[in-house]
Amino acid sequence: MNLAEKYTYCIEHFAKVMPNPKTELDYTTPFGLLVAVILSAQCTDKRVNMITPALLKAYPTPQTMAEASEDDIFNFIKSCSYPQAKAKHVHEMAQMLHTKFHDVIPDDVDVMQQLPGVGRKTANVMAAVIFHKPAMAVDTHVFRVSARIGLVRNAITPLETEKQLMKHIPSELVHDMHHWLILHGRYTCKAINPDCAHCPITAACATFNHENKQTNDLTIF
């Protein structure tokens, strides 16, 4: 299976079994999603979803969160990973969003990265989910799964992965593919003990077929 066929195979499968993929982060406003994505770094969506309702009820807008203290924010998010650093990022993000951008999240990925705590992955999530742009956010799942399947080759960084994926995915499907790869990595192609026995796309998976070929070659001898 060549690279183009591999993409077609995966896209057709995912489109059939997950026709409307969405983020598992709960949110009601763009600002709420931005806060949730910042908090989700090295933390589960389940944990973030437990934290954000109370936090955003207390501070629902950039202005109200900017007017809070880092300690106030910390008390709401202390059960997530790296709460002190994230409290600082969220607080400083809200301050800049209020003072520089007048409470409006910019829709440009590069401009959005001016906000504290907002890297390229977070900016791409916002661009895709809120602004419906063909932006590929590469998190740990996307990075791992796309390499294992062989959708990308010799990508060392998330940016290299992003660029390779964007070359082969139709623009109207980039947003969906982001979620497909995340969900596949979260529930099937896990970092430890991937569930290859129940994986429906092993026919396209470079890692699975390489390992099976090695096993078969050993069996011959």
Active-site residue, from 16, 121, 163, 213: 121
Burial tier of 8 (Cβ tally within 10 Å: 0-12, 13-18, 19+): middle
Q: Distances from the Cα of 189 to the Cαs of 45, 86, 174, 186, 199, in angstroms?
A: 17, 28, 20, 7, 8
* Three-state SS at 82: coil
Q: Is 121 a catalytic residue?
A: yes
Q: Measured between alpha carbons, how far is 84 from 124 in angstroms, rounded to an integer? A: 24
Q: What is the DSSP letter of 23?
A: -
Q: Measured between alpha carbons, how far is 221 from 216 in angstroms, rounded to an integer? A: 9
Q: Is 110 a catalytic residue?
A: no
Active-site residue, from 26, 71, 133, 139: 139
Q: Tell me phi and psi for residue 191, to 5 degrees.
A: -60, -45
Residues marked active site are found at 121, 139
